[in-house]
Structure formats: C-alpha cells, structure tokens
C-alpha cells in the first residue's frame, strides 16, 4: 500500500465557528495522495465487496475531527440561529440564502433513543438529512461542506496504514480506539473518548456508522480498471442502498475494519415519525451518524448542488 502526500500551502487545522453559538467544529487537514483501497483476500473478517484492492488517488480535504453531535445537529433542526449567518468567515466560498435550505422536520419521538444529547453523536438521520445539514452549514459559514466519499473516508481512516485497522491488525486492541458490540453496553457514547487514529481523527472505528456520499454497489471495485482511480464517487441513482463506513456500537470487530462497507436498508424506516414517509429520519437506526468534510479546492456552484441534491436521496 502506498501513500504519497501532496504538499499544500495554507492547509492547516482550524475551528469552524457557528455564529450565534459557542459551538465550533474542529477540522483536520488530510493531505491528498494515493492509497490502496479495499482489503486483501487474506485479511481476517473481509467481505467480498471489499475487493479487489485497487490504487486510488484522493485530492486534499479537511475532515471533522469528531462525528457530528446533537449539540450541533439540533441547530439545523431548530433553525433559530439562521439570522446569525457569518459573513466574515474563512473563505466566503458559498453564497446561499439560509432560509432557502430545507430543514429536517422535528420528529414526535425521542430520536436519541435515550442515549444522550450533549457530546453524543447525532443519530437516526437519513443520508438526505445529513447532506442538507452540510448545505445549511455551508450557507451559515460561507465554506463548502459535504459528506465524504467512500474513498475519502477510507483514506482518512487508514491514515497511512495498510492494516485491518488504523492501529494494526489485532482486534484485541480495538477497545482502546472504538466502541463496538463488545464494550459499548448497547449504546453510543460521547465522541472523542477513545484514542484517535494516526491523523488525529476520533471514532473512525465504531461508535456510530457514518454516511458517505456514494451509492452502495457490491461489485463496484471490479469496475475500476484505470490505475490509479482519481477521486472515485458512485453517484446515487436510487434511494437504496447507500454506503456507510466505520461500523458502530452494535457491530462486531470485523465490521469496524478500515475497508468494511455497509449498505443502507428500508428496514431502518419500519416505524416512521412522519406519516406516510419521512425524508429526514430513520426510526430504527440509532447506530447511524455522520461527519463532514471540506475539499481543499472549492467546487463550482453547479458542482456543489450535485453533492447536496435531494432527488433519490434518503
């Protein structure tokens, strides 16, 4: 496995402030480079959808150090701070009317399932809701945010490693880095309580599984003939399945590996808080959350809308 870092100027960690609040988002710079995506046939616990391994080139981006918490996500749901939009932000890259961004509906049931709010990862949202949160945050701050692609997520999770986990191959060491079925006590936990990966990202293994931008395709890697594949992204064309990464507090160690992939399913909507169908919530997915990224190179206004597009996004 090969990682070739690309040096970038003015590419430093920063804290994205949310005007009108004392909340900020710690963003970690992820240098672009090449890596081997997927797992080898000899990796213990691998699934067929993780192969064949292939070389991927990833452009530089920032990634949130932690999963999005309820403290932050509830600002998007409540929308009471929209008038505090920051016009003196880092880049002023995004020019949107905040009130034109669709907001998630407030469900009538407790969507945190009693696990906790302050410092806990937001859960149960659809991929659409996570993407619309990114659009709202972009409008509030002027900096472009979105969900990571599968390739970006795995690249950041591996953090220069080629082992099953970012800390090595021994699943016995997982408890130091992750909340899984073995140690979670059947609940999610506050973000950042375990050790980070080598690039300073917390909870990339476990706690909650994280949405990516991609349509889930079981045999996607078989179709990648070009080497290296540059910034791959499987553009969604249907609602299900979408791809999640990282595993969660309900999963076994093998599902928390860096290469492990998880498809979304309609079963997560068995009990819907908005009848007949909510675009915003899953009721039976308290193990799903997300984290955000910001590309080093800001896409055009037209490209931005592709990442936030509502059609076929649930």
Report, as an integer, the average pLDDT of 222-234.
88
Confidence of residue 241 (pLDDT cuts 50, 70, 90): very high
214/32 Cα distance (integer angstroms)? 19
Residue ranges with strand state E in 246-313: 261-263, 288-289, 293-295
Query: Can you give the pLDDT at residue 1?
Result: 36
114-118, 172-176, 213-217: the lowest-pLDDT one: 114-118
Selected residue with higher pLDDT from 45 and 275: 45
- 279 Cβ neighbours under 8 A, 6+ residues apart: 126, 128, 129, 310, 314
**DSSP output for 72-109:** HHHHHHH-TTGGG--SS-S-------GGGS--PPPPSS
What's the burial of 235, exposed, middle or buried (CB within 10 Å: 0-12/13-18/19+)? exposed
Per the CB < 8 A criterion, the answer to whether 29 and 11 are in contact is yes
Residue 2 has pLDDT above 50, yes or no: no
pLDDT at 281 (0 to 100): 83
What is the model's pLDDT at position 247?
A: 99
Beta-carbon-side half-sphere exposure of residue 297 (alpha carbons within 13 Å): 9
- How confident is the model at residue 4, as a pLDDT? 36
Residues 227 and 53: their CA atoms lie apart, in Å, by: 11
Is 105's pLDDT higher than 80?
no
Question: CA-based angle 54:56:57, to the nearest 5?
Answer: 165
Cβ(125)–Cβ(282) below 8 Å: yes
Say how far apart CA 83 and CA 186 lie, in whole Å: 39
pLDDT at 311 over 80: no
Averaged confidence pLDDT in the chain: 89
More confident site: 45 or 93? 45
Write down the H helix ranges in the chain. Answer: 70-78, 127-141, 150-158, 301-308
d(C-alpha 263, C-alpha 223), whole Å: 18
Sign of CA dihedral 128, 295, 13, 86: negative
For the segment 208-225, the average pLDDT, to the nearest whole number, is 95
Look at residues 261, 263, 205, 259 and name the one whose alpha carbon lies nearest to residue 39: 259
Share of the chain above pLDDT 70, in %: 84
pLDDT digits (tens, 9 = 90+) for 246-273: 999 999 999 999 999 999 999 998 776 5
Instruction: For the domain made up of 14-308, give the CATH fold.
Output: 3.90.1580
Indicate if the pLDDT at residue 8 is higher than 50: no
Residues 6+ positions from 117 with CB-CB distance below 8 Å: 70, 71, 74
Q: What integer is the mean pLDDT of 30-42?
A: 97
């Amino acid at each position: 496995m090969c990682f070739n870092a690309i040096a970038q100027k003015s590419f430093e960690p920063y804290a994205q402030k949310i005007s009108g609040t004392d909340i900020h988002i710690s963003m970690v710079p992820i240098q672009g480079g090449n890596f081997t995506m997927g797992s080898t046939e000899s990796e213990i616990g691998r699934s067929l959808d993780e192969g064949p391994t292939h070389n991927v080139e990833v452009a530089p981006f920032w990634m949130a150090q932690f999963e999005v918490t309820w403290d932050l996500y509830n600002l998007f749901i409540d929308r009471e701070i929209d008038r505090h939009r920051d016009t003196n932000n880092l880049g002023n890259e995004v020019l949107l009317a905040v009130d034109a961004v669709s907001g998630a509906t407030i469900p009538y049931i407790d969507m945190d399932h009693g696990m906790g709010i302050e410092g806990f990862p937001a859960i149960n949202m659809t991929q659409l809701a996570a993407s619309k949160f990114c659009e709202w945050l972009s409008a509030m701050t002027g900096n472009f945010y979105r969900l990571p692609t599968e390739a970006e997520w795995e690249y950041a999770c591996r953090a220069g490693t080629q082992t099953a986990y970012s800390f090595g191959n021994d699943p016995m060491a997982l408890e130091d880095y992750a909340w899984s079925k073995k140690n979670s006590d059947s609940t999610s936990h506050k973000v950042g309580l375990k050790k980070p990966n080598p690039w300073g990202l917390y909870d990339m293994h476990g706690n909650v599984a994280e949405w990516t931008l991609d349509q889930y395709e079981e045999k996607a890697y078989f179709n990648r003939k070009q080497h290296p594949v540059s910034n791959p992204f499987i553009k969604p064309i249907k609602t299900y399945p979408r791809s999640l990464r990282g595993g969660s507090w309900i999963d076994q160690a093998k599902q928390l590996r860096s290469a492990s992939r998880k498809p979304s399913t309609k079963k997560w909507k068995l009990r819907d808080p908005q009848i007949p169908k909510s675009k915003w919530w899953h009721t039976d997915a308290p193990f799903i959350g997300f984290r955000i990224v910001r590309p080093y190179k800001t896409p055009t206004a037209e490209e931005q809308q592709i990442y936030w597009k509502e059609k076929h996004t649930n």
